[in-house]
Amino acid sequence: MSALTYETSDHVATITLNRPERMNTISPAMLDELCDMLKRANKDAEARVVVLTGTGRAFCAGLDLTEASRGEGIGGGQRQAPETLDLSHTPPTVLFDMDKPVICALNGSAAGYGMDLALGCDIRIMANNAKLAAAFVKRGVLPESGGTWFLPRMLGWAKAAEIIFTGRTLDAAQCLAEGLVNAVVPADQVAAEARKLALEIAANAPLAVRAAKRMMRMGLDEPFGTHVQHVYLQLLPLFASEDFKEGVASFLEKRPAAFKGR
């Protein structure tokens, strides 16, 4: 059985963590495979939106520390920083750099690395019995895969500090109240709700959606004046696209648009 699966239908690519017997913990081999699947989805001409989910009762319980406990694998025997550090082919970096929207369908709880992975997605739909566990400091590490970057931006410094420094676990209601997830639904409806939202996004002009996400990402670190200039430069090729013509025509003709991504 493959630890990860990939399928595309109706312009939605679904990547599934498929290791339920290990609560979808991420093994060293899965890190590379997940990177490859995310890159595949970003290049897949048939995919306009990506859904990341898991099988079983957990979304992802973090990194698989079984090998580390033996001094092997992730974190095993690592006592000093490497001489060179290239994180360009790691899931958090690849996920952050993706232009296509990514929806995390939290079929179950996410802890540690799994929580960071969920936070790296653009939108999160969470099962009502799921939890997010920022248990890093309880294991002697820090949020190593994006949590220290995402949480202060999502929650503000003080709230992020409280969650990270305590290693707190948040239930679904708390996650929704804090704005960490977009919606909380019954566990058996997570996949359907995520797909419904994915299809709604996929019905829009894909070039425009990707450009909007690209600009949102750049805007995180840009002053306003610089950002609006970059937005204008992104707008010019969209004006020349077939999708822009279709968008205007469908509006005037009062019909659904049929975008082709050109």
Domains and CATH numbers, the chain: 4-202 (3.90.226.10), 206-252 (1.10.12)
How far apart are the C-alpha atoms of 261 and 208, rounded to whole Å?
Answer: 9
Span 90-143, pLDDT tens digits? 889 999 999 999 999 999 999 999 999 999 999 999 999 999 999 888 888 888
Question: 99 with 60: CB under 8 angstroms?
Answer: no
- pLDDT bin (cut points 50, 70, 90) of residue 67 is low
Q: What is the pLDDT of residue 74?
A: 58
Helices (H), the chain: 28-43, 91-97, 113-119, 147-155, 157-166, 172-178, 190-202, 206-219, 224-239, 242-252
Residues 224-256 pLDDT 10s:
999 999 999 999 999 999 999 999 999 999 999
What tokens were used for 157?
Answer: 């410094």
Backbone angles phi, psi at 49, to 5 degrees: -140, 150
Whether residue 161 is predicted with pLDDT greater than 60 in this model: the reply is yes
Enter the tokens of residue 37: 């699947």
Question: Lowest-pLDDT range, 71-85, 181-195, 216-230?
Answer: 71-85
pLDDT of residue 12: 98
